[in-house]
Amino acid sequence: MQSLKHRRKRGASSTIQMEERSLIDEGDTILNKKAVYEPSGSQRCRQLVCSRSWAVTILIVMGLFLILIAIIASFARPQTLPCTPLNTVTEAATTPAPKVQTYIATNGKDFPWKDIRLPKNLIPESYDILIHPNISQSYFKGRVIMKVRVISQTDFVVFHIKNLNVTHFDVKSLKDGEPIHTTEYLEYKEGQQFYIKLGRSLEVDEQVEVTVKFEALLVNKLVGFYKSSYKLSTGEERHIATTHFEPTDARGAFPCFDEPQLKANFTLNIVRDKQHISLFNMPLKKTEVYDNTGLLLDNYDTSVKMSTYLVAFVVCDFANISKTTSDGVKVSVYAPSELISQADFALDGAVSVLEYYNSFFGVKYPLPKQDLIAIPDFAAGAMENWGLITYRMTAILYDPKVSSLGNKQWVATVVAHELAHQWFGNLVTMEWWDDLWLNEGFASYVEYIGADQINPDFHMHDQFVTEDFLTSMYLDSMSNSHPVHVPVDNPDEINEIFDKISYSKGGSVLRMLRSILGQSKFKAGLTHYLTIHKYSNARTDDLWMALQDANPKLHVNIKAVMDTWTKQMGYPVVTVKQTGTLLSLTQDRFLLNAAHTNDVVPSSPFKYKWYIPLTLLTSADNETHQLTWMNMTSAETTVPPNIKWIKANSGMNGFYRVNYDTANWKHLIRQLMDNHKVFSAADRAGLIDDAFNLARAGLVSQKIALDLTLYLVKEVEYVPWKAALDNLAYIESRIIYKEVYTNFKAYMLKLIMNRLTALQWTDSGSHLEMFLRGHILMWAVKLGNQPSIEKGKQLFQQWVHDHASIDPNLKTVIYMTGVKYGTEEDWRECLKVYEETHVPSEKQKMLMSMSYSRDTRLLNQYLGFSLNTSKVRSQDTETVINSIAANPSGQLLAWRFVQQNWDTFSERYKGGSFGMSRLIKGVASHFSTQFDYDEVKAFFAKRDAGSGTRAVKQSLEKIQMNIDWLERNEAEVTDWLNKHSS
């Protein structure tokens, strides 16, 4: 091997100094910021003499400068200047210049490879990784041997690194075993790439080994290879080292070809202390003594062929519990020893789901083991690393004595989601991140199937409508949405699309396709897709082809239909007009705020038209689902004579909204009042959500939407109530400071009173009944229902004195009531429990509860805690801030806090993070005035939001929609509430 120090003597690398600097010295420089230079006595004297002489000189210069100003002023004439209001920033001043891509290496030289994507001249075949983490000293070092095959003749190598200090590298041909002379190496930090110039060309099909030694800091940064910690009940702090690589952070742990289509086999060798264990994607092969210091080296089996972002390794001191599936796969859950008793539910669920998916997908799980591990600091909910899934603690640990049914369902859903990825994402991986939805859309749909397998009482298929379907429709009705399949290049752009469109809309269009094909044909197509692309990569077209090929007699062109749903943003609203027995159906793109859509609308290859599988119910036969295809056009169909009403999109399977003429809306409202059970719970939720969103878009009156809610006094099911309350919450947030809010509260209390009386403060009933109880009680307290407030305060005070006395499924509303209507001492009691509890779900509830305070002093203090990692984990920072922003008392405080600490957030989320988008949307999208719009726009116009760039555009669009809603609808809503509040 050639040392970088030796090669510098030969002139090959004299311009790069960072590689040969000691990591420990660099770490000391970073960590010891208080160490400052103290001059000696003689040096201080010389500085003093210099200071006196310079002072005289400066005084003379300043005097001459003042005389010059006076002369200029005496000759200057008055000028008429354009009047610019104070605090108004012009567009030229607030719009940053377009960022010009430059390719400059760390030594100032031109970087030869000018593409964010790696060249296709080399393909990695295997990685042999040695990692030596020093957890106590917060650094790690390692060595990777990358075996690559030459695809096209080349005389250079380019691979990824991020924040790694390269200390050695060499390149060797496997044809003759001889080293290949290298003439230059360069690092391009912005592109996270490392370039090696070779002394000769590599031939096609030649195999070479690229060996790189490296070192880096091991800190709590939530991406790459990082440090995490937890505390024992004794207060002792323990540390672990763990990874999170998706989408582009494997390069932060070891040099690699970090793109999903560049799959390879991975072998890991990892150094650890005796008190620790290590984990990897594959089973442990052997452990041996590493050196004379007592360290151990764990050697692991070589992995199956997989993408870099799925590699994972952990060094920890956790305990575990295990079971074996009927197919012989060992399933284990790892957690701190004091928390492992909370892992039983996740373990049982994982075994059940893994066995079920083997049958459902028709392809066996290919690895010999499946580990699930709880990570104390974790940015996402979980990560599907093949054979070693990492979880946020609240997503895997469940204590039936303390945790609620909501916590239980969350664990089941996340476990089912990540196990679905073992097939969709791991076995078959998207070729590039523009097809991220192939991973996340599938897992978002299949998780409902898997969670129902864990516990059928969850009724997950009913919940899909409100949790994924309607929420993604809201985001996709904005002009700043994006297609399901969207071009992305750099890490910031990639991180932007980990959103409701890729996940929930992706899952929704698959659910729609399943309803078109039928369950058996859909499953046959999935099995075919997984079989022909296993251990490889695929694009969206490959899925459509597999589904088509598996169903040769199908009379639907799947690609033609589904391209209209995945390659253009948005979705249609179908307008249904009846003339006798003839129905005319027209389609248009649905936008919540078409009047303020950008002048330059992104072009669509389909001109914003869709293939729509329109289904119909009528009052003549409300069980018949009539199907009419709208092939990117209008259409006509017939219905029986003398029908009273039409309900389109039966079952809410189609990803579109439906509008009707006023007469049909009135008939639907009357039917709901007479007998709402004629419609399914999903259809009732769909009618409510369509009406309110159509009203927001100005396509129907607010009266129609509000009239639809009148029947809710008889509604007992969770899904329609959830849709209604979500939409009514939007109106509440617009009028909360208006005089009419008093009447809004009176109407809402009248609406929920039957459910409030029936459900009471008990912890009984079905799964969805208990969910509904929580929502109804929260609204009762929020609306000022005095008996509910007093009951909540009473239960809170009982809990303060005896924490075991509170029902798990009532905790959220009781904590909220106690904090909102309580004292500072009550708030601090929640803080104390947050700091002391060892139940992750309870810690999360405390985190949220403290944000409900009406004391702005406490909220400001809590905002300060959010950036103090000794108080609030970095994974929870945006949760705290966004929760305070959702509180009317804290909305402005949270926005100001983000403004004041922008540099801190920008640094924390630099290089790509889901947190930046969540933070921006959470604090900036609640406002409803032009003043706030202008302030948000001016603030972000001067700053690079990185992975939150799209979130800024969406937040500004939401504020504009809020402003417009008030201008268009306040009078009508006020009039309606005045008539219906008593």
Q: Looking at the annotation, which residues are catalytic?
A: 418
- Give the C-alpha separation, 308 to 936, whole Å: 38
Report the chain's C-alpha Rg in angstroms. Answer: 31
- Give the C-alpha separation, 422 to 426, whole Å: 5
Q: Tell me the sheet residues that pair with 392.
A: 375
Cα torsion 101, 107, 110, 113 to 10°: value is -80
Structure tokens at 749: 């209390």
Structure tokens at 61: 């210069």
- Give the C-alpha separation, 841 to 829, whole Å: 17
Beta strands 139-150; 122-134: pairing state: antiparallel
Chain length of the chain? 982
Contacts of 144 (CB under 8 A, 6+ apart): 127, 128, 129, 130, 211, 212, 214, 254, 255, 256
Structure tokens at 591: 């936008």
- Give the C-alpha separation, 628 to 614, whole Å: 5
Contacts of 847 (CB under 8 A, 6+ apart): 834, 872, 876, 879, 880, 883
Burial class (CB in 10 A: 0-12, 13-18, 19+), 106: middle
DSSP letter for 281, please: S
- Give the C-alpha separation, 117 to 253, whole Å: 19
Judge contact between 889 and 854, C-beta under 8 A: yes
- Give the C-alpha separation, 869 to 865, whole Å: 8
Q: How far apart are the first and last CA of the chain?
A: 85
Structure tokens at 760: 């009471």
DSSP track, 283-345: -EEEEEE-STTS-EEEEEPPPPSB-GGG--EEEE--EEEEEE-TTS-EEEEEE-TTTGGGGHH
Structure tokens at 453: 């397998």
DSSP letter for 459, please: -
Among candidates 683, 682, 675, 708, which has minimal Cα distance to 694? 708
* Amino acid symbol at 651: G
Cα torsion 943, 944, 946, 951 to 10°: value is 50
* Amino acid symbol at 284: L
Structure tokens at 648: 């389109």
Helices (H), 404-518: 405-421, 436-454, 460-464, 470-476, 491-496, 500, 506-517
Beta strands 572-579; 582-589: pairing state: antiparallel
- Give the C-alpha separation, 421 to 430, whole Å: 12
* Angle subtended by helix axes 811-820 and 786-801, to nearest 10: 100
- Determine how many CB atoms are found less than 10 A away from the CB of residue 876: 21
What is the SS3 assignment for 500?
helix
Question: The tokens 């003429």 sit on which residue?
Answer: 661
Structure tokens at 6: 């030796």
Sign of torsion, CA 794 798 803 807?
negative
DSSP letter for 179, please: B
Phi/psi at 125 (5° precision):
-110, -35
Among candidates 148, 149, 155, 152, which has minimal Cα distance to 180? 155
